[in-house]
């Protein structure tokens, strides 16, 4: 009897203790969880399928667009190679330059396409999770403005490099004058262009700092030489000598390949009291104007020496039988305060008379 009373008392205490879970409570919680899962599994499935579909479409679209850009770049390369097969095309078209230009354009287009597609897909995935994108877009806008102000030079360099490549303003192998530096282009980047100067130095020029560009390697160049002779020279003789030099150079190797037109004697550029300037010009290959000008001066000087034509700037030839002028005739008398042992005083002092007593 006592045991039955104790068991009833313990059972009533256990049932009255709310801190101890019972089997009935566990069953109720499991039922609620199963009901919640049953109510929301369709939503989860639809959200997961939507995210999976967004990711698959984004990567497929990215692969298709990148492949299309690659085919476009390959077509540009084949077109440049076919243009270089002709005689004139081989001179005007630099295959390596066109290849690098097309590769740079393709790289920029692929990067832009990947950024746009993947960025849009990321925003769509966040929207599928019911995330409010308004604060995120506002923060991104503020951060973009701050970065734009802080890195405006970098953005300017990048945009300038893109337009330089798209417009084909210059390429590898061209000789350009960029204002801040000049030389041969050895690398074209989206931010920096590398130039090799005349003394072998390498210039790193930011694309955003280039305000004007003079390309010396596109189309053709002009070699201009000014020949200065005495005003009493025979013009017909001078013209005949220059014409002979021009004809001989046009037939000589390798100058005939560098010349894209005949060497022309333009005529008198100026006539002064003691000199005349005769202009000589020639159309040359791009970047060969300086070489042609130097060779022209070399040949003209030798031809003038053989023809007896004097060029202004040399020492006047004294006629036979005449004594040379005294170089000290135009010198002023030395000052009383000057040193008597200086070279000027000694040169201007009178020559002592010879001793006639001996």
Predicted TM-score (pTM) of this structure: 0.48
Write the CB contacts of 204 (distance below 8 Å, at least 6 apart in sequence).
Answer: 192, 193, 194
Given pLDDT bands bounded at 50, 70 and 90, which one contains residue 61?
A: very high
Where are the alpha helices (H) located in the chain, listed in sequence order? 2-16, 23-83, 87-92, 95-128, 133-150, 152-166, 235-251, 255-258, 289-307, 343-348
Each residue's pLDDT tens digit, 231-280: 888 888 888 888 888 888 888 888 877 888 788 888 888 888 888 888 88
Q: What is the pLDDT of residues 138-185, one digit of tens each?
A: 777 777 777 666 677 787 888 888 788 777 788 777 888 888 888 888
Each residue's pLDDT tens digit, 163-176: 887 777 887 778 88
**Sheet with 221-229, side-by-side order of all strands:** 221-229, 276-284, 264-271
Q: Are 210 and 255 in contact (CB under 8 A)?
A: no
SS (H, E, C) 16-55: HCCCCCCHHHHHHHHHHHHHHHHHHHHHHHHHHHHHHHHH
DSSP class of residue 322 equals P
């Amino acid at each position: 009897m006592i045991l039955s009373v104790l068991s009833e008392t313990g059972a009533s205490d256990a049932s009255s203790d709310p801190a101890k879970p019972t089997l009935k409570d566990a069953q109720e919680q499991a039922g609620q969880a199963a009901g919640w899962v049953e109510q929301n599994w369709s939503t989860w499935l639809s959200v997961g399928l939507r995210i999976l579909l967004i990711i698959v479409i984004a990567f497929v679209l990215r692969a298709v667009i990148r492949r299309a850009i690659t085919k476009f770049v390959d077509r540009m390369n084949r077109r440049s190679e076919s243009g270089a097969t002709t005689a004139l095309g081989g001179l005007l078209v630099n295959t390596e330059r066109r290849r690098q230009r097309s590769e740079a354009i393709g790289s920029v287009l692929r990067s832009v396409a990947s950024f746009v597609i993947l960025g849009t897909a990321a925003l769509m995935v966040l929207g599928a999770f019911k995330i409010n994108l308004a604060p995120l877009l506002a923060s991104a806008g503020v951060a973009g403005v701050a970065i734009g102000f802080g890195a405006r030079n970098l953005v300017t360099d990048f945009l300038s490099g893109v337009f330089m490549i798209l417009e084909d303003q210059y390429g590898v192998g061209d000789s350009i004058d960029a204002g801040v530096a000049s030389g041969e282009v050895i690398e074209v980047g989206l931010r920096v262009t590398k130039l090799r100067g005349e003394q072998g130095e390498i210039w790193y020029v930011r694309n955003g700092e280039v305000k004007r560009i003079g390309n010396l390697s596109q189309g053709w160049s002009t070699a201009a030489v000014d020949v200065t002779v005495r005003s009493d020279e025979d013009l017909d003789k001078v013209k005949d000598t220059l014409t002979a030099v021009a004809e001989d150079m046009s037939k000589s190797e390798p100058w005939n390949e560098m010349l894209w037109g005949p060497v022309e004697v333009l005529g008198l550029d100026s006539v002064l009291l003691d000199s005349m300037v005769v202009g000589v010009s020639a159309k040359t290959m791009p970047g060969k104007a300086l070489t042609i000008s130097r060779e022209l001066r070399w040949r003209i000087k030798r031809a003038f020496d053989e023809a007896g034509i004097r060029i202004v700037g040399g020492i006047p030839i004294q006629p036979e039988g005449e004594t040379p002028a005294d170089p000290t005739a135009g010198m002023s008398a030395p000052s009383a305060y000057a040193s008597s042992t200086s070279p000027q005083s000694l040169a201007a002092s009178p020559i002592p008379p010879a001793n006639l007593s001996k």
